Amino acid sequence: MEGTLLNSGVSLQFYIILATIIFCIGVLGVMIRRNAIIILMCVELMLNAVNLLMVAFSNYHGKGDGQIFVFFIMVVAAAEATVGLSILVLLYRNRKTVDIGLFNKLKD
Amino acid sequence: MSTVELIATILGGLTVGSALMVVLSTHPVRSVLFLILTFFMISANYIMLNAQFIAIVNIIVYAGAIMVLFLFVLMLLNLSKDTEPKTSVLMKISAAIAGGVLATVLVAALKDAAFETIENADNTIGLVEQLGMLLFDKYVLPFEVSSILFISAMVGAVLLSKKEKQIID
């Protein structure tokens, strides 16, 4: 692929397109699946696509700041997964399902 | 095409393939296992990008901790193929179109983006020593604040999943 070469010999454009495709697969998963746990997993997939892009640009600039930000994104993702999953367990205890179409208790 | 480009292309293809399997497989446990495979593939991509520290942390934190938590919850709730909620065909088709259009627009916009070549970019930044110096020097305050975030997440998770008298219903 043509474009700006990173020092590994692969172009930056390759990683931009790869990260875009992984991000779009995550978006697709959020829209297609109705299992709340799988939807949380697809959010993790989107976060990872952003991480990949961040590391690629950090390599391109030759500065470590991008990789430190990836580290902090992982911290936030871990915290988010813990709280999200415990909310889901609580919802499952109440409704006996993980189908997001049935989580409409606030409506009535 | 050089050897490095060939390896990167194969790794990229495998990453996209396993990410697609996460979305497409109907059994939730299989989805989790494919997501773990995707994280390993992304770690391999990090190694291709000379980011060894992030590659190892990705395996330890994502594949080792977060995904095990997901697998734990899936098995605690005893979810299987039969309990998997079904999506209507119309919904699937419109979601596929929406996702495809998003991917097309983003790729078309970014494909021809021009970046100037940076001469003599340092390629040792991904090593633990360099990142450690940066993390505990320039980013030491965010690092300490993230511990408060973890404490609050931990307290929140314990508080939420504690069994108490249900007042709903």
Rama region for A3: left / alpha / beta (φ>0; ψ in -120 to 50; rest): left
Q: Which of residues 50-69 of A touch B (CB under 8 A)?
A: 51-52, 55-56, 58-65, 67-68
Give yes or no for a contact between B34 and A36, defined as CB atoms under 8 angstroms apart: no
**Residue whose structure tokens are 């590994």:** A8
Q: Return the sign of the alpha-carbon dihedral for residues A91, A93, A95, A99.
A: positive
Contacts of B76 in chain A (CB under 8 A): 89
Both ends of chain A: CA-CA distance in Å?
55
Q: How confident is the model at residue A23 (pLDDT cuts 50, 70, 90)?
A: very high
The residue among A35, A46, A65, A108 with the most chain B CBs within 10 A of its CB, best to mutate, is: A35
Contacts of A68 (CB under 8 A, 6+ apart): B131, B134, B135, B138, B139
- State which amino acid sits at residue B82: D
B15-74 pLDDT, tens per residue?
Answer: 999 999 999 998 899 999 999 999 999 999 999 988 999 999 999 998 889 999 999 998
Q: What is the DSSP letter of A99?
A: B
Q: Do B49 and A56 touch (CB under 8 A)?
A: yes
How far is CA B63 from each of CA B21, B57, B152, rounded to the nearest angstrom?
A: 17, 9, 23
**Residue whose structure tokens are 């078309």:** B108
Q: What is the dihedral of CA B32, A30, B85, B13, to 10 degrees?
A: -50
pLDDT score at B15: 95
CA–CA separation, B140 and B146 (whole Å): 10
A81-106 pLDDT, tens per residue?
Answer: 999 999 998 888 888 888 888 888 77
How far is CA A60 from each of CA A21, A29, B102, rounded to the nearest angstrom?
A: 20, 30, 26
Q: Per-domain residue ranges for chain B?
A: 1-83
Q: What is the DSSP letter of A3?
A: S
Q: Per-domain residue ranges for chain A?
A: 12-103
CA–CA separation, B151 and B131 (whole Å): 24
Q: Do A29 and B22 touch (CB under 8 A)?
A: yes
Domain A12-103 sits in CATH at 1.10.287.3510
In angstroms, the separation between the Cα of residue B75 and the nearest Cα of chain A is 12
B92-149 pLDDT, tens per residue?
Answer: 999 999 999 999 999 999 888 777 777 777 777 888 888 999 999 999 999 999 999 9
Residue A91 in contact with partner chain B when CB distance is under 8 A: no
pLDDT score at A1: 53
Pick the CATH number of B1-83 from 3.30.365.10, 3.20.20.70, 3.40.50.410, 1.20.120.1200: 1.20.120.1200
Q: Do A48 and B61 touch (CB under 8 A)?
A: no
Contacts of B136 in chain A (CB under 8 A): none
Q: Do A67 and B126 touch (CB under 8 A)?
A: yes
pTM of the model: 0.91
Q: Do B118 and A70 touch (CB under 8 A)?
A: no
Give yes or no for a contact between A51 and A68, defined as CB atoms under 8 angstroms apart: no
Q: Do A79 and B153 touch (CB under 8 A)?
A: yes
